[in-house]
Structure 1
Amino acid sequence: MLLIYTVEVFMQIRLTGKTAIVTGSSGGIGLAIGKALALAGASVVLTGRNEKTLQQQVDAITAEHSQCQIRYHAVDLSTADGCQELTAREPKADILVNNLGIYGAKPFFELTDDDWLTIFHINVLSAIRLAKHYAQGMKDNGWGRIEFISSESAINIPSDMVHYGVSKAALQAAARGLAKVLAGSGVTVNSILPGPTLTEGTETFIGKMAEERGVTLEEMQTLFLNENRPSTLMTRFARPEEVANLCVYVASEQASYTTGAALRVEGGIVETSF
């Protein structure tokens, strides 16, 4: 008689003992990532420019989840000085999530040199500076996780936000290149590609459109997707927590064989399978 036994294995992500830094995390996707990493046991550092907002977010998380180890640093990471200030306060990290970024619609022919430089300083150079610093300590320790939060706009370059799409494509290239630099070191580097996500900033962005067209916020979300992302398979905006879930996995021990990848959490907007 042939007996077949089945074993159910449940993934339990534990990041206890790991220090994680999440940039641009006073709200939106960054805050969701920071909270999720803290709930998984990591000691989390939030960053942003507004100390009051950061303190409120830390207080809210710890009031709801007293076990979370979470702190913050109010720094402007769009500058070299701001990045140096953060690395001086937090010289080592096991997990770095480069989430800091800005966006905004502007016709291509109206983009100035300053527009391009601003978005590159904030979206790209901040991530490169921090990755350069923290990757060296991770390599020495033989373990680390670096994530660059890119966007599906890196593949589907929006015609009204060309500079944004280009900056996100640059992050994907940086992640792939750094993964090669750190090959065999125990440090993984990946980029994460969210789709349209319902954050506070997005609500403001979509809200202005809704007001101009005389529709509700919910109706405008549907209109936006139909007009700008008609290939969506989920037919809705992502929740920040849905992006954070992927980021927590990529930061885990379980993701030890995933590196140099562009991982999508964009609701099927990108038409290509590869």
Structure 2
Amino acid sequence: MHIDLSGKTALVSASTAGIGFAIATGLARAGAHTIINGRSEASVVASLDAMRDAVPNADVRGIAGDLSSADGIAKLVHAVPTADILVNNAGIYGPEPFFEISDETWERFFQTNVMSGVRLARHYMRGMLERDWGRIVFISSESALNIPADMIHYGMTKTAQLSIARGLAKLAAGTQVTVNSVLPGPTMSDGVKSMLKETAEQQGKSVDQVAVEFVRTHRASSILQRPATVEEVANLVVYVCSAQASATTGAALRVDGGVVDSIV
């Protein structure tokens, strides 16, 4: 299968590292004019350099902006008025005991993980419908289905994304605009590597070894029995953004290594 996104503009939120950067790289490699986004100008510039090293002919540009607020979204859409492909990857996570999660933390997670995607879809989907072609993908998580007891606030936002994506897919019924969610499981992103680094040093093991042990201990239902790579997640997203995925919409697509113990 040859995926050709030439002539399409793709925006990937929070794409200077990890899964977001892998997705942006995959879209650029498929020929899309790709927009990288990050909170700081420095992170955007560094990511653009890394992208051009990985994909020498990449048609790529970067926009700095914090998408956790309406003002940050307004800045981005002013710089990028239209897009054919929108990947809502912006998100934050972190464990915290339920009884210690403040109202402010609940609000921060909701604004970053949910409302960033709502605001971007509200802007870009109008043009997609007018042109009768578009792809919107929400990067959710297996935590949307397996709500973590130590990250209930995070799980809530990931479940909310599934509802929004399904509703938007129905809104686009009968058009060539598709809306889907992709649910990664444990993935060796930059954030996960940083989180495991101290444990690996204390135990005298590699980060990869500790990551595998984490999956087998804390995600024992995993069929893959290891974390996915960011590229493995990105591969599914790039496909969902392609013309070949035209009959896939309103779906919650898992790339979780079988962590969710379900046959559907």
- TM-score under structure 2 length normalisation: 0.97
Amino acid at match of 1:222: V
2:75 maps to 85
Amino acid at match of 1:129: R
Amino acid at match of 2:139: I
Q: 1:53 is matched with which residue: 43, 46, 49?
A: 43
Give distance in 1, aligned partners of 2:4 and 2:72. 31
Amino acid at match of 1:25: S
Once the two structures are superposed, the pairs formed by residues 72-221 of structure 1 within 5 Å of their partners are 72-210=62-200, 216-221=206-211
Give distance in 2, aligned partners of 1:143 and 1:12. 19
CA positional deviation for 1:107: 1.0
Q: Does 2:62 match 1:68?
A: no
1:3 maps to none
Q: Which runs of 5+ in 1 are unaligned?
A: 1-10
CA positional deviation for 1:63: 3.2
Q: 1:261 is matched with which residue: 236, 251, 255?
A: 251
Give distance in 2, aligned partners of 1:89 and 1:51. 14
CA positional deviation for 1:211: 5.1
Give distance in 1, aligned partners of 2:152 and 2:198. 20
Structure 1 residues 115, 208: closer, same or farther in 2, change over 3 A?
farther
Once the two structures are superposed, the pairs formed by residues 217-228 of structure 1 within 5 Å of their partners are 217-228=207-218
Single out whichever of 202-211 and 175-184 deviates more from structure 2: 202-211
Q: Does 2:230 match 1:230?
A: no
SS state of the match for residue 170, structure 2?
Answer: helix
Structure 1 residues 214, 65: closer, same or farther in 2, change over 3 A?
closer
Task: Tell me the alpha carbon deviations over residues 236-269 of structure 1, each in whole angstroms, 9 at most, x when there is no partner.
Answer: 1111000110011000000001000000101011
Give distance in 1, aligned partners of 2:141 and 2:118. 17
Amino acid at match of 2:244: Q
CA positional deviation for 1:209: 4.1
CA positional deviation for 1:153: 0.6
CA positional deviation for 1:273: 1.2
Give distance in 2, aligned partners of 1:43 and 1:85. 19
Amino acid at match of 2:89: N
CA positional deviation for 1:55: 1.0
Structure 1 residues 63, 211: closer, same or farther in 2, change over 3 A?
closer
Aligned Cα RMSD in Å? 1.3
Percent identity, aligned pairs only? Answer: 51
Equivalences, count: 264
Task: Tell me the alpha carbon deviations over residues 182-227 of structure 1, each in whole angstroms, 9 at most, x when there is no partner.
Answer: 1112110000000111011111122244456665423321331122
Give distance in 2, aligned partners of 1:235 and 1:226. 6
